Structure 1
Amino acid sequence: MSETVILEVRETKRSYGPLWLALSVLMLGLPFLGRQRILLTNERITITQGFWTKVRDDIEIFRIRDVVVKQSLYHRLTGIGDIVIKALEGRSEEIHLLRGVADPVSVSERIREVWNRTARPAGPAATLD
């Protein structure tokens, strides 16, 4: 089965707040160039960030253990939020932050749907008798 793109989002400019927005306009928009890019496929989540130095982080879907949506008052008013993904890497837990995602509840639900299709065992549940 090949890897298919399910969702592609970017960190919104609204996540910076009004003060940071004014500062970035004075700096010719440079802070906006390094925004996070999030790509959700049926096998992994890829987070790319940075302007001068690019950082790419891959999270395999089967390693995800929990998805949490965080929204401050400002974020709720502007319709954005942060998504925290807790994944298991070996014996330790990793925490990944998807910043400034528009409509974070629906994005977290899409991640959950992909996780349910990919990571959960198919067929009837086994019982121990």
Structure 2
Amino acid sequence: MSEELVLETRESKRSYGVGGILLALLLIGLPFLGRQRIRITNERIIIESGFWTRVRDDIEVFRIRDVVVKQSLWNRMFGIGDVVVKAMEGRSEEQHVLKGVPDPDHVSETIRGAWNKVARPRGPSASLD
């Protein structure tokens, strides 16, 4: 089975808040250039960030243990939020934060759907009853 893109999004400019937007305007918009770019495929989540120094973090879908959506009142007003992905790497748990994504509930459900296709057992012998 080949890897196919399920969802692509990026950190919203609105996640910076009023103070962050004013600071960005003073700095000629440079903080907006380093926003997170998030791609969800049927096999992994790819998080890229940075402007001067580029950082790429891959999370294999089968390693995911939990997905949490966090939204403050400010974020709910603008329809954005943080999606926290908890994954097991070896014996330790890692947390990856997808910051300020638009429609975080949809992103969370997309990750959950990809996990269900990859990590859940299939077939008649996999009955949980």
Q: TM-score range by the shorter chain?
A: over 0.9
Number of aligned residue pairs = 128
Q: Specify every segment of 5 or more residues in structure 2 that has no aligned partner in the other structure, as ranges.
A: none
How do residues 13-28 of structure 1 correspond to structure 2 at under 5 angstroms? 13-28=13-28
Q: Specify every segment of 5 or more residues in structure 1 that has no aligned partner in the other structure, as ranges.
A: none
- Name 1:121's counterpart in structure 2: 121
- Name 1:12's counterpart in structure 2: 12
- Name 2:39's counterpart in structure 1: 39
CA RMSD of aligned residues (A): 1.2
- Name 1:112's counterpart in structure 2: 112
- Name 1:54's counterpart in structure 2: 54
Q: Displaced runs of 4+ in structure 1, greater than 6 A?
A: none
Separation in 2, partners of 1:88, 1:104:
22
Separation in 2, partners of 1:123, 1:65:
22
| Shift, 1:108, TM fit | 0.3
Separation in 2, partners of 1:127, 1:102:
35
Separation in 2, partners of 1:47, 1:3:
16
1:67 and 2:54 matched: no
3-state SS in 1 of match to 2:17: helix
Aligned residue type for 1:110: T
| Shift, 1:121, TM fit | 0.9
Are residues 119 and 27 of structure 1, via their aligned partners in 2, closer, same or farther at CA, if it must alter by over 3 Å?
same
1:89 and 2:89 matched: yes
Are residues 103 and 127 of structure 1, via their aligned partners in 2, closer, same or farther at CA, if it must alter by over 3 Å?
closer
Q: State the Cα deviation string for residues 35-81 of structure 1 (Å, max 9, x = none).
A: 00000001000000000000000000000000000000100011000
TM-score between both structures, scaled by the size of structure 2: 0.96
3-state SS in 2 of match to 1:52: coil
TM-score between both structures, scaled by the size of structure 1: 0.96
Q: Give % identity.
A: 66
| Shift, 1:126, TM fit | 4.7
Separation in 2, partners of 1:123, 1:72:
41
Are residues 63 and 17 of structure 1, via their aligned partners in 2, closer, same or farther at CA, if it must alter by over 3 Å?
same
